[in-house]
Amino acid sequence: METLRDYYANMGLDENLILRLNKELRVPSFAKLTNEIHEKRLASLNQAKSELWDHGPTMTTEEITKELKSHHGNMAKWKRKLNPVYSVKGYTIGSARPGKEASSDYNRINHYSHCPCDSCKAGNRVRGVINPHDMFPYVEKNNILKSARRKELKSGEIKATPWTVEHIFALIEDAYTSNQIQFAIELMGSIMVRMAFMLDHHVDNTGVMKLSLPKLATKEMIARLPELGTPGQKVPIESVIFFLDILGFNEDIKVDVCGYRDLKREYVKGPKPRDNGRTNTMLTISHMAAVILSRRPVAEFSYGFHRGQGMNAITKGKIHPTYPLLSSNIEELLDVKLTDLGWTPQI
């Protein structure tokens, strides 16, 4: 039965490279990370809620929808405020504000039943409000919105649908065509896990907390899979990862607004940090990538994704067997059979 060592060797990967990647990516334990990274996540949340990224003008839902429909090919005409955050290979990744949930007439935000705000605690659950900090993550080049799936209608009009988590799943799944791509997806999934816990986020020289991609892993990933997307709509793989990072900021905003105040949940013994928001979103994408790689069961992911209403984070105990480059010492896993790691045998 094939071992992990055999698996990497059959892909033509040098064992020294595997050890170097493990040294760069390793996460000794996930058990206490939720608490350990809470202050960093809270700082990033407060950064995202601040005016560092301009909240933009007051707009209605209809105005935002029409703007996207009419000007996805020329974002210079957008009324929304564009806040560039990352730049890679001529592409800009950032947040546009207001997002749809921050539009003046939006009324679909309901506080969680356990929300600790005064109104909810008094039994008057807050319903039908806006999320004032919502933003629209984007990738653009030459003022053209790139983080969208385009389709030509019978009328000749080009319809642009902004990326959703479903589109991200498709970008990764459609890329899987060879062993080389398989390793690139493993690297991307490993990076996504680290992003979930903000292990590669640092405050830059301007005082802004940003993602700094692990250098060796990113280099090896790009060498095998430089772009994601369909012909004519491809973008650098790094731009997708940076897009997901902006999405992560916004996911923390959403749960904070709805009742996980300061990314904690209230319990009888007091508030505790939770993984809802950025962490669970990134771990859901990592889980999906693991399914594509046949490292986690399709049924397990599908059922959990349905029950979780679009979320199914890979459990912390499954991360190291699924993404061994993240293990504390991969040498201890190299002679383990793939089936013992929980991977599905390849036919």
Give the pLDDT confidence score for residue 111 in this predicted structure.
97
Residue 193 tokens, joined: 């896990």
Intervals of the chain under pLDDT 70 = 346-347
Give the pLDDT confidence score for residue 340 in this predicted structure.
96
Give the pLDDT confidence score for residue 53 in this predicted structure.
97
pTM of the model: 0.96
Helices 15-25 & 215-224 angle (0-180, nearest 10): 130
Give the pLDDT confidence score for residue 346 in this predicted structure.
63
Give the pLDDT confidence score for residue 45 in this predicted structure.
98
Establish how many alpha carbons lie within 13 A of residue 77's alpha carbon, considering only the half-sphere containing its beta carbon: 13
The residues spanned by each domain of the chain are 4-341
Q: What is the pLDDT of residues 13-65, one digit of tens each?
A: 999 999 999 999 999 999 999 999 999 999 999 999 999 999 999 999 999 99
User: Which position has the token pair 């036919």?
Assistant: 347
Q: What is the pLDDT of residues 184-204, one digit of tens each?
A: 999 999 999 999 999 999 999
DSSP bridge partners of 227: 236
Residue 13: how many CB atoms within 10 A of its CB? 16
